[in-house]
Amino acid sequence: MSKGDPLLEVTDLVKHFPIKSGVIIDREVARVRAVDGVSLTLHEGETLGLVGESGCGKSTLCRAILQLTQPSSGSVKFLGEELVGRSHRDLRPLRRQMQMIFQDPFASLNPRKRVGQIIGDPLQLHGLSSGAELKRRVQELLDRVGLSPEHYNRYPHEFSGGQRQRIGIARALALHPKFIVADEPVSALDVSVQAQIINLLKELQDEFGLSYLFVAHDLGVVRHVSDRVAVMYLGKVVENSDTEDLFRKPIHPYTNALLSAVPIPDPKRNAARERLVLQGDVPSPIDPPPGCSFHTRCPWATEVCTTDEPALLEHAAAHVAACHHPRNVEHAAV
């Protein structure tokens, strides 16, 4: 479901962190394959959900896309311009268009700055506004995210978690970005507050035509906000599809297992459904299993899965998955 032209094109993005050891000369002894060849496309006005368990590389991918960490290789094209390899100075005008909302509303706001400064600084740094105009602009933003303009002179500690997340959202909105990366924006919040923030993010998207890359481990949240969803496992995208298709007909066994593991808050339906409980834990990204990296936990794994890495193939319309034994498809390709 495309709502326009591609805004962001990520191709074969890789981020490896070397593990060094040695007394005088550091020698690379291993590498953490945090992001290991990821390709994604995000259209204007669209929300792409990114799910996966802790350590699968979701957050590193976000940082690599925004050039907050230098990718090891691959390409990130934003508004048709290549971001990888650009200098900080060159990136600056583009940074205005790409903002981020962080998970922890406590750690992501400077405790020694007033709310007015936190939200106003980006405007000042980019020379967009100053003086009385700046204050008016910040107060408008506060009002827009559901805070009161009188909060201008308060400090972050005077706010609750949900309110702080609103401050973070106002800061991200200040520069009128086109693209916002929201890295687990609601996972630190209580359910009733989560709903408030999700509703706000959706309103803002409609109002400003924003595109979101929305990272979460909570599948319910991702399903609610996303147009498309990409599922990550050990640094790779294993499935990518339209949201409805992904949740109705998950192809990759890992996606099936994830969906099956989420408890449904309805006792009768919960008892009625068949469950697929995975054994074991996620392997280490330092030494991922050969072949398909999911084969160690996959109930359908065979010989071929231990040797050949499956390619991302289109199994249904606009629905790709990397698996030798896809589920929910009529003609299983082997």
Partner 1 sequence: MTEAILKVDDLKVSFATEDGVVQAVGGVSFELRAGEVLAIVGESGSGKSVTAQTITGLTRASNARITGSVTYRDRELNGLEDDQLRDVRGEQIAMVFQDPMSSLNPVYRVGDQITEMIRAHRDVSKHEAADRAVELLRSVGIPNPERRVRHYPHEFSGGMRQRVMIAMALALEPDVLIADEPTTALDVTVQAQILRLLDDLNRERDLAIILITHDLGVVAEIADRVLVMYAGQIVENATLDETFYDPQHPYTWGLLGSLMRLDQTRGARLAQIPGQPPSLLAPPQGCRFAPRCSHRFDKCDEPPPLEARVGGDHLDRCWLDPEEKKTRRAQVIS
Nearer residue to partner 1 within complex by CB, 40 or 219: 219
Give the end-to-end CA distance of the chain in Å, rounded to a whole number.
28
DSSP assignments along 167-179, one per residue: HHHHHHHTT--SE
Based on the shown chain and the rule CB under 8 A, indicate whether residue 264 belongs to the binding site for partner 1: yes
Based on the shown chain and the rule CB under 8 A, indicate whether residue 150 belongs to the binding site for partner 1: no
In the complex, what is the shortest distance from the CB of residue 194 to partner 1, in angstroms, rounded to a whole number? 7
Nearer residue to partner 1 within complex by CB, 198 or 312: 198
Based on the shown chain and the rule CB under 8 A, indicate whether residue 269 belongs to the binding site for partner 1: yes
Question: What is the CB neighbour count within 10 angstroms for residue 70?
Answer: 10
* Burial 139-153, CB ≥16 within 10 A → b, else e: bebbebbbbeeebbe
In the complex, what is the shortest distance from the CB of residue 46 to partner 1, in angstroms, rounded to a whole number? 14
Q: Which amino acid is at 135?
A: K
DSSP state of 325: S
Q: Which of 193, 304, 316, 329 binds partner 1 (CB under 8 A)?
A: 193
Based on the shown chain and the rule CB under 8 A, indicate whether residue 270 belongs to the binding site for partner 1: yes
Based on the shown chain and the rule CB under 8 A, indicate whether residue 272 belongs to the binding site for partner 1: no
Based on the shown chain and the rule CB under 8 A, indicate whether residue 219 belongs to the binding site for partner 1: yes
Closest CA to 144 of 178, 167, 114, 127: 167
- What CA–CA distance (Å, rounded) separates 27 from 65? 28
Check if the beta carbon of residue 286 is closer than 8 Å to that of residue 31: yes
Collapsing DSSP to helix, strand or coil, 33 comes out as strand
Based on the shown chain and the rule CB under 8 A, indicate whether residue 277 belongs to the binding site for partner 1: yes
Based on the shown chain and the rule CB under 8 A, indicate whether residue 79 belongs to the binding site for partner 1: no
Nearer residue to partner 1 within complex by CB, 75 or 187: 187
In the complex, what is the shortest distance from the CB of residue 161 to partner 1, in angstroms, rounded to a whole number? 8
Q: What are phi and psi of 162, to 5 degrees?
A: -65, -40
Check if the beta carbon of residue 75 is closer than 8 Å to that of residue 13: yes
In the complex, what is the shortest distance from the CB of residue 50 to partner 1, in angstroms, rounded to a whole number? 15
Nearer residue to partner 1 within complex by CB, 150 or 330: 150
Based on the shown chain and the rule CB under 8 A, indicate whether residue 282 belongs to the binding site for partner 1: yes
Q: Which of 28-36, 136-144, 165-173, 218-226 is the region at the interface with partner 1 (rule: CB under 8 A)? A: 218-226
DSSP assignments along 86-148, one per residue: --HHHHHHHHTTEEEE-S-TTTTS-TTS-HHHHHHHHHHHTTS--HHHHHHHHHHHHHHTT--
In the complex, what is the shortest distance from the CB of residue 79 to partner 1, in angstroms, rounded to a whole number? 28
Q: Which of 41-49, 133-141, 150-158, 160-168 is the region at the interface with partner 1 (rule: CB under 8 A)? A: 160-168
Would you tell me which residues interact with partner 1 (CB under 8 A)? Answer: 53-54, 160, 162-163, 190-196, 198-199, 202, 217-221, 223-224, 243, 247, 257-270, 275, 277-279, 281-282
